[in-house]
Structures are given as C-alpha cells and as structure tokens.
Amino acid sequence: MKTLSYDPLYLFIDGRWLDAEGRDTVAVVNPATNAVLGRLPLADASDLDRALAAAERGFATWRRTAPAERARILKASADLMRERVEHIATLMTLEEGKPLVESRDEVLRAADYFEWFAEEARRIDGRVVPANRPGVLQLVKREPIGPVAAFTPWNFPAITPARKLSAALAAGCSVIIKPGEESPAAALALARALDDAGLPKGVLQVVFGVPDAVSSQLIASPVIRKVAFTGSMPVGRLLAERAAAGVKPITLELGGHGPVLVFRDADLDAAAVGGAANRFRGTGQICISSTRFLVQRDIYPRFTERFVAATRALVVGDGLDASTQVGPLANARQLAKMESLVEDAVRQGARLLTGGKRIPGPGYFFEPTVLADVPMSARVMHEEPFGPIAVLRPFDGLDDALTEANRLPYGLSAYAFTRDARTAIDVADGLEAGMIGINQYRIVATELPFGGMKESGIGSEGGAEGIHHYLVNKFISQI
C-alpha cells in the first residue's frame, strides 16, 4: 500500500486561503490508522464576520452575473473535479475511510451535480400572467434568495457539499459552507476547483469551527437568507428553530432507517446478496441505506442464510487497499454506538448471526453485523444505526409489512423486492418515503430529487426541484 500525502487545510474566505496561523486548530485523523493527517484551522467570530461581509458583497456581484456565465464557471469546475478525481478521492479515503473505488465514484457524481445545475442555471425562467385590466403587464420573476449558510456532515465529504453548492451557486446565491470537521479536505478541493474555474471572490466561503458557535452566529446574521443542513435529527431541529427566529427557509436532510420489503416472489439474490452489499457500503454510514430487512415468512430462512453468507464474504480493511469493500467507521463515537446497539438487541433476545464486535488493532473497525428476529423493543428498531448493522425480521402480509415500514418518524428511503406488478404498485403507493427503489438498491441520480418525508427532512436536493429552494418569487405589475 502506498503512503499518500494529505492536502494542507485552510479556511476559504473572500477569495483567500487562510491557514492555521493565529487560529485554534483541530486534528484530522485517518479512521483506518488513527494517524493525524493534518490540523484544521477553526474560524473565530471575527473570521465569521469577515465571511458574512464577503458573502454579502459576493451576492451583489453574483446575482447580476449572467446565467450563461454562472453556468460556464460551474461547468468548468466540474471538468476540474473530474481531472482531479484521483487526488480528491485519495484525500477522501484518507480522511473518511471509504474504499477508494467509492471515493472516486463520489467525486465523479459530485462533478455531475455541478454540470447538472450549470445547465439548470440557464433555465430559471419566469411567467407573463394575463391581467384583468387592459394595458397592464404582469411578470413573475424568480430571483436568487440571497446568501446561504450550509452545513454538511462527514460521511459524504464531496457529494453533500456538492448538492448544496451546485444548486445555490447556479441560482445566483453566495454561500458560506461549514463542512464536517472530521473530513474537511474534499470540500476544500471542490472550493479549489470553483476558485480555479473563475468563481468571483466572496461568492463562496468555506469555514470550519465549533459547529454550534458557527451555526448560531451565521444563522442569526441578517446577511443570511437561507439555511441548508444535512446531519442528525436533533441538530436539524435546532437549526430549524434558529432559522425560524429569523423567518429564514431551511432545507433539511436528517437521515432514515430504510425498510426493505422482500416478498416471496422476489429475486432472492438481488434482494439478499445485493442487500448485504448495500447495507455495508460506506460502513453503513449512509442516510438512505437499507437497514431494516422485512422478509416474507416462508422465504425468511433462505433469505437470512444468503444475507449472512454475503455479509461474511465482505472484505473489511483500509480503504486504500484495492481489495477492501468495507472501511472503518468514521470516528470513535460511531464505534461506541455500534457496541451499545448490538449489546442492547442481544440482551433483549435478538439472534446475532455474524459480527457484533470491534476489530482489534488501530482504526475504528467494526465487524459487519447481522441481527435476526430483533425484538421491537430493541433500540436498533427505533434509532438509525448509521453503522454496519443489519436487522432482519419476518412478516406475513403486505399490510403488516407496510405498517412496520412506516412505523418510524423517518421517511427517507425504502426498498421492495417483488416480481408481481400489483404488489410493486401497492407497495410504492403505501410507503411513506421520499425515495423508493423497487427491485434495486442503487437509486440516487443527479436528475432526481433527493430528500425525505416526515421527520427525515424538508425539501429535496438535486433534480429539477433542487434549485427552487434557492430562489424567491417576485411579481412586477406594470402599466
């Protein structure tokens, strides 16, 4: 395995790359080895004031920049991200731990969002509405909402910032983004590509800091007109309250506990072998992951056997190693959480079919874990595991399956496997989820809206819908 270098870390404010000189710092750690990769400068209150002032000036410039020019810069940044895919993917694997093949895929998909929204920038049109009186011209315009404060987590260090930045910048907004402090280099690499592509200074600032201090200062500022967050429900609620105090709209993506309904006529390999691959992808730290496998009772034993065999075959290791399929967890918090969820489920009567333990040695490794017949009282039936744990339970009929699938306040992703068209239609109709895969797990696409129902979030990112949150309506009635 090669020893690879990590980029120096900065804040990016008003077109300047600011280093750690005179600032507090926090260590960024490789979760596969516990090695310190670098020190991340943290913004203080005066840095954030500078970022706000720059975003205000940046907005004044960018909102008047022709959509075609905005599109040109975003498209050029996408090309640079693609050229730099190996470098950015390596940074991401070092700081987040996912296998290099997944990091590459994520960088390329992040670039696709910039290209998609570059094209959407040119289609922000309005309406001419016939008036009730003669001689009156009524126009409806859609304008950029204003400077955006965006907050993204550590699990998808490139694509989550990309979904927010690409749409907001295409709309003509300026942005201050605070990516996760645990995996900061990928977002900085996207900012570098935008800077190199000619984004005017002040249009984008990237800051890191004490998360609560950063969000309270930014959201309270009158400069900020829109908030976007991806992360946990408690933090999402907190930021929604702060945004509400200033009557600022917020887009939220807050995770899920994705049910998978496997009916007796399903393609069992697609459901079980594909299910294990999907459940443990990203070490299970994926908000749209398939987590609760609900299997029709008569095929439950066969499904379980294949699922467990496929889980045992997964290769766990450092993401830089080409054979690795499952990397480490992102941090020590996640390790402790997995141990406690497994211990609780087993104590309450779940059958531990494989895994269940930390893997000794350096790094935050946890065995891919399958729990069957998990009692409804177990915590893992209620809390998003956000790690390498799959839970399996049998069901009898469609109604039972839908009741269990929709039981939780989450409504992000859901999946179903059946060869029967009637069942597929009824299931898709009955599932309370923003994103549904029928007979497949890999469902996300640039051109589709990504977002949840119920407490999983507000609004969606990506697709033709993704730009609307960054626009406001204005009508002009003219005689």
Nearer to ligand NAD, 144 or 452 (CB): 452
> Which residues, 6 or more positions from 426, have their beta carbon under 8 angstroms from its beta carbon?
398
Q: What are phi and psi of 296, to 5 degrees?
A: -60, 135
Residue 102 touching ligand NAD (CB under 6 A): no
What is the distance between the terminal CA atoms of the chain, rounded to a whole angstrom? 72
Q: Which stretch binds ligand NAD (CB under 6 A): 55-63, 153-161, 264-272, 466-474?
A: 153-161
Q: Which residue among the candidates 173, 287, 432, 461 is catalytic per the annotation?
A: 287
Residue closer to ligand NAD (CB basis): 252 or 268 = 252
253: annotated active-site residue: yes
Based on the shown chain and the rule CB under 6 A, indicate whether residue 253 belongs to the binding site for ligand NAD: yes
- What are the backbone dihedrals phi and psi of residue 450, each rounded to the nearest 5 degrees, phi first? -105, 115
| Alpha carbons 187 and 168: distance in angstroms, whole number | 15
Helix axes 100-121, 85-96, angle to 10 degrees: 120
Q: How far is the CB of 155 from ligand NAD (least distance, A)?
A: 5
Which of the stretches 31-39, 152-160, 299-307, 389-397 binds ligand NAD when contact is defined by CB under 6 A? Answer: 152-160
Nearer to ligand NAD, 238 or 346 (CB): 238
- For residue 238, state whether it binds ligand NAD (rule: CB under 6 A): yes
Query: What residues contact residue 255 under an 8 Å CB cut-off, 6+ apart?
Result: 231, 232, 233, 287, 384, 386, 410, 412, 456
Exactly one of 90, 93, 230, 289 binds ligand NAD (CB under 6 A); that residue is 230
143 within 8 A of 64, measured Cβ to Cβ: no
Query: Which string of x and - marks every residue 411-450 that binds ligand NAD (by CB under 6 A)?
Result: ----------------------------------------
Per CB under 6 A, the segment of 95-103, 227-235, 372-380, 421-429 that binds ligand NAD is 227-235
Measured distance CA(40)–CA(29) in Å, rounded:
10
The binder of ligand NAD chosen from 77, 90, 155, 460 (CB under 6 A): 155
**Interaction of residue 232 with ligand NAD, rule CB under 6 A:** yes
Stretch that binds ligand NAD, among 57-65, 184-192, 230-238, 274-282 (CB under 6 A): 230-238
287 part of the active site: yes
Q: Considering only residues 22-81, where is the footprint of ligand NAD by CB under 6 A?
A: none
Binding test (CB under 6 A) with ligand NAD, winner from 7, 181, 432, 461 = 181
Q: Identify the three-state secondary structure at position 178.
A: strand
Contacts of 296 (CB under 8 A, 6+ apart): 262, 263, 264, 394, 395, 396, 401
Between β-strands 435-438 and 413-417, what pairing exists: parallel, antiparallel or unpaired? parallel
Structure tokens at 167: 């749409």
CA pseudo-torsion sign 72, 75, 79, 81: positive
* Beta strand residue intervals within 231-288, DSSP E: 250-253, 258-262
Q: Which residue has the tokens 């887009």?
A: 251
254 interacts with ligand NAD by CB under 6 A:
yes
The residue range among 7-15, 192-200, 232-240, 292-300 that interacts with ligand NAD, by the rule CB under 6 A, is 232-240
Instruction: Work out which of 83, 119, 196, 212 binds ligand NAD, going by CB under 6 A.
Output: 212
Q: Smallest Cα–Cα separation from 338: which of 297, 278, 390?
A: 390
**Who's near 348: CB < 8 A, 6+ residues apart?**
375, 377, 378
Task: Check: CB of residue 146 under 8 Å from CB of residue 469.
Answer: no
| 160: nearest Cα among 230, 96, 98, 73 | 230
Size of the site for ligand NAD (CB under 6 A): 22
Smallest separation, CB 404 to ligand NAD (Å): 20
Minimum CB separation from ligand NAD for residue 44, in Å?
16
Among 117, 151, 307, 441, binds ligand NAD (CB under 6 A): 151
Rounded CA-CA distance 107/101 in Å is 10
Q: How far is the CB of 284 from ligand NAD (least distance, A)?
A: 10
For the chain, the maximum distance between any two Cα atoms, rounded to a whole number of angstroms, is 79
Q: Which stretch binds ligand NAD (CB under 6 A): 82-90, 162-170, 253-261, 340-348?
A: 253-261
Q: Which of 384, 432, 455, 461 binds ligand NAD (CB under 6 A)?
A: 384
Q: Pattern 275-294, binding to ligand NAD, x per CB under 6 A?
A: ------------x-------
Of 181, 253, 367, 461, which residue is the catalytic one? 253
Shortest separation between residue 7's beta carbon and ligand NAD, angstroms: 19
Complex with ligand NAD: residue 144 or 328, whichever CB lies closer: 328
46 Cβ neighbours under 8 A, 6+ residues apart: none
Instruction: Give residues 305-364 in contact with ligand NAD (rule: CB under 6 A).
Output: 333
In contact, 334 and 311? CB cutoff 8 Å:
no
CB atoms within 10 A of CB 15: 15
Residues of this chain that bind ligand NAD (CB under 6 A): 151, 153-155, 180-181, 211-212, 215, 230-232, 235, 238-239, 253-255, 287, 333, 384, 386
Q: Catalytic residue numbers?
A: 253, 287
